[in-house]
Amino acid sequence: MYSQFEIIVFGRVQGVGFRAAARNQARSLRLRGWVENLADGSVRAVVNGDAERCTRFINWCREGTGFSWVERIDIEEMKPESLGPFVIRY
Protein backbone atom coordinates (compact mmCIF):
# COMPACT_ATOMS: atom_id res chain seq x y z
CA MET A 1 0.00 0.00 0.00
CA TYR A 2 1.32 3.43 -0.94
CA SER A 3 1.55 6.26 1.55
CA GLN A 4 2.71 9.86 1.49
CA PHE A 5 4.04 11.98 4.33
CA GLU A 6 5.25 15.50 4.90
CA ILE A 7 8.08 15.49 7.44
CA ILE A 8 9.56 18.62 9.01
CA VAL A 9 12.82 18.08 10.84
CA PHE A 10 13.94 20.57 13.51
CA GLY A 11 17.38 20.92 15.08
CA ARG A 12 20.81 21.36 13.49
CA VAL A 13 19.84 20.05 10.07
CA GLN A 14 21.04 22.73 7.65
CA GLY A 15 24.63 23.01 6.49
CA VAL A 16 25.46 19.50 7.68
CA GLY A 17 24.60 17.39 4.62
CA PHE A 18 21.16 16.40 5.88
CA ARG A 19 19.36 16.94 2.56
CA ALA A 20 21.91 14.96 0.54
CA ALA A 21 21.83 12.13 3.08
CA ALA A 22 18.01 12.19 3.05
CA ARG A 23 18.02 11.99 -0.75
CA ASN A 24 20.41 9.02 -0.65
CA GLN A 25 18.34 7.29 2.03
CA ALA A 26 15.06 7.84 0.15
CA ARG A 27 16.54 6.63 -3.12
CA SER A 28 17.97 3.51 -1.46
CA LEU A 29 14.44 2.79 -0.19
CA ARG A 30 13.02 3.43 -3.69
CA LEU A 31 10.85 6.31 -2.46
CA ARG A 32 9.71 9.33 -4.44
CA GLY A 33 9.48 12.98 -3.39
CA TRP A 34 11.74 15.83 -2.39
CA VAL A 35 13.58 17.57 0.46
CA GLU A 36 14.27 21.29 1.01
CA ASN A 37 15.59 23.77 3.54
CA LEU A 38 13.07 26.11 5.17
CA ALA A 39 13.76 29.71 6.20
CA ASP A 40 13.40 28.90 9.92
CA GLY A 41 16.37 26.47 9.82
CA SER A 42 14.31 23.29 9.57
CA VAL A 43 14.18 20.82 6.69
CA ARG A 44 10.97 19.64 5.01
CA ALA A 45 10.62 16.41 3.07
CA VAL A 46 7.67 14.94 1.22
CA VAL A 47 8.04 11.22 0.70
CA ASN A 48 5.85 8.80 -1.20
CA GLY A 49 5.98 5.04 -1.58
CA ASP A 50 5.46 1.74 0.15
CA ALA A 51 4.15 2.36 3.69
CA GLU A 52 6.87 0.27 5.38
CA ARG A 53 9.63 2.04 3.42
CA CYS A 54 8.14 5.43 4.30
CA THR A 55 8.24 4.41 7.97
CA ARG A 56 11.89 3.42 7.61
CA PHE A 57 12.65 6.84 6.09
CA ILE A 58 10.79 8.60 8.91
CA ASN A 59 12.80 6.62 11.47
CA TRP A 60 15.99 7.63 9.66
CA CYS A 61 14.88 11.30 9.88
CA ARG A 62 14.59 10.94 13.66
CA GLU A 63 18.30 10.01 13.80
CA GLY A 64 19.74 12.14 10.98
CA THR A 65 23.41 12.09 10.03
CA GLY A 66 26.54 12.04 12.17
CA PHE A 67 26.84 15.81 11.75
CA SER A 68 23.19 16.72 12.38
CA TRP A 69 21.28 16.97 15.61
CA VAL A 70 17.54 16.28 15.39
CA GLU A 71 15.51 17.99 18.08
CA ARG A 72 12.12 16.79 16.87
CA ILE A 73 10.15 15.95 13.74
CA ASP A 74 6.58 16.76 12.77
CA ILE A 75 4.84 14.24 10.53
CA GLU A 76 1.64 14.66 8.56
CA GLU A 77 0.13 11.91 6.45
CA MET A 78 -1.06 13.19 3.09
CA LYS A 79 -3.20 11.86 0.27
CA PRO A 80 -0.77 10.06 -2.09
CA GLU A 81 -0.09 11.88 -5.34
CA SER A 82 2.21 11.27 -8.27
CA LEU A 83 5.74 12.42 -7.38
CA GLY A 84 8.96 12.16 -9.35
CA PRO A 85 12.25 10.62 -8.29
CA PHE A 86 13.48 11.90 -4.91
CA VAL A 87 15.37 15.18 -5.34
CA ILE A 88 16.76 18.10 -3.37
CA ARG A 89 14.81 21.31 -3.91
CA TYR A 90 16.89 24.49 -3.90
Active site residues: 19, 37
**SS3 label, residue 87:** strand
The alpha helices in the chain, defined as continuous H runs, are 18-28, 51-63
- Strands 87-89 and 2-12, by their bridges, are unpaired
